[in-house]
Amino acid sequence: MHNFTRRLSIAPMLDWTDRHYRYFVRFITRHTLLYTEMVTTAALLHGDRNRLLRFDSVEHPLAIQFAGSDPSALAQCARIGAIWGYDEINLNVGCPSDRVQNGRFGACLMAEPQLVAECVAAMKNAVTLPVTVKTRIGIDDRDSYGELVDFVGAQVNAGCDALIVHARKAWLKGLSPKENRDVPPLRYDVVHQLKMDFPALSITLNGGITTLTAAANALTTLDGVMIGREAYHNPWLLADADRLIFGTISPPITREQVLEQFLPYAAKQLAQGVPLSAMSRHLLGLFQGQPGARAWRRQISEQAHQPNAGLSVLALPQQIIDSLE
């Protein structure tokens, strides 16, 4: 297990935070904690384990997020995750999609705090890695602070090492997963109150944080901040994270250098049969706001999916090159 801090992390995002994105973003920030996409226990125990779990060592520190509600199955998955070399085991108790509810995992589990506690305890007994929970502040009409305290208390008693709190409630009926990320109001006050009531518990704030300045402000009272889609669409916002958030001094890097360093990895993956589009889609935000960025994105979007697309698709337009001089 690698030593790491949860001061800043990038949220687990299905179809987005795959191994190619994580490899790419490591050139921008060395210390930010990364998460895998959500992996269901059924998929891991019965599916293609190598496809679901493989990662490059440069991705550390790296947590794996599981979704499930069977303590025994989660314990098995936690052991597998530990064997594969992950740094943290995380349980999803925050996703509100219908598919997740039908599988009896995700945010609907907030209604069953003791079951979640049994899951946490089972994983804690199975591994020596940190076991954490990502949750909401409530679901539907079950959103009183008292119920949230009961839920958190049960996880603390089960041995939960850290809590990541999306500071919105989730509506399990009537709102789509996308709407559940935007419509319910953010309640940072609830997360701050949790920290006051559970001072020994590491608490990370998730939801609505889109700048390092906002992250640094939150860190004056909380233990960590998790950034989601903004870190994907605008990855360069992380360029100063190691200095501002983690206090480490490293040589400055440019967007062009990030791309240059990613190319050997992309070449290796192409040689192994990975299509360019599976990797290039994660790069689209690298030059966001820069001259020529739109032309570069269009070039990639139009060409990367074509058969035998190669690294030339990623070549920078002259407009970007001129702006770098």
Q: Quick check: 317 and 290 in contact, CB under 8 A?
A: no
Half-sphere exposure of 294 (CA within 13 A, CB side): 2
Does the structure show a pLDDT above 80 at 203? yes
Distances (CA, A) of 245 to 9, 161, 219, 286, 316: 11, 21, 9, 20, 31
The average pLDDT across 253-260 equals 95
Give the angle 78-122-117 at the CA atoms, nearest 5°: 115
The catalytic site residues sit at 95
How many CB atoms lie under 10 A from the CB of residue 136? Answer: 25
Does the structure show a pLDDT above 60 at 325? no
Residue with tokens 């920078």: 316
Give the angle 160-172-93 at the CA atoms, nearest 5°: 15
53-67, 84-98, 153-167: segment of lowest average pLDDT? 84-98
Does the structure show a pLDDT above 70 at 100? no
Distances (CA, A) of 113 to 32, 145, 150: 30, 14, 8
What was the pLDDT predicted at 132?
A: 98
Residue with tokens 């949790």: 194
How many CB atoms lie under 10 A from the CB of residue 218? Answer: 18
How many CB atoms lie under 10 A from the CB of residue 210? Answer: 15
Q: What is the pLDDT of residues 271-315, one digit of tens each?
A: 999 999 999 999 999 999 999 999 999 999 999 999 999 999 999
Phi, psi of 202 (to 5 degrees): -70, 120
What was the pLDDT predicted at 135?
A: 98
The average pLDDT across 211-231 equals 98
The average pLDDT across 64-75 equals 97
34's tokens: 């990364």
Q: How big is the chain by its Cα radius of gyration, in Å? A: 20
Torsion of CA 292, 294, 300, 302, to 10 degrees: -130
Share of the chain above pLDDT 70, in %: 98
Does the structure show a pLDDT above 60 at 160? yes
What was the pLDDT predicted at 320?
A: 79
Q: What is the pLDDT of residues 236-248, one digit of tens each?
A: 999 999 999 999 9
Does the structure show a pLDDT above 80 at 95? yes
Please give the domain boundaries of the chain with CATH numbers for all domains: 8-244 (3.20.20.70), 255-324 (1.20.120.1460)
Count of all residues that appear for the chain in the document: 325
Q: What is the pLDDT of residues 113-125, one digit of tens each?
A: 999 999 999 999 9
Half-sphere exposure of 206 (CA within 13 A, CB side): 26
What was the pLDDT predicted at 211?
A: 97
Q: How far apart are CA 171 and CA 177, in angstroms?
A: 9
Average pLDDT in the chain: 94
| DSSP structural state of residue 186 | P
CB-based burial, 149-169: b 16+ in 10 Å, e otherwise? eebbebbbebebbbbbbbbbb
Share of the chain above pLDDT 90, in %: 86
The average pLDDT across 182-205 equals 96
Q: Quick check: 323 and 255 in contact, CB under 8 A?
A: no
Q: Quick check: 166 and 207 in contact, CB under 8 A?
A: yes
The average pLDDT across 132-157 equals 96
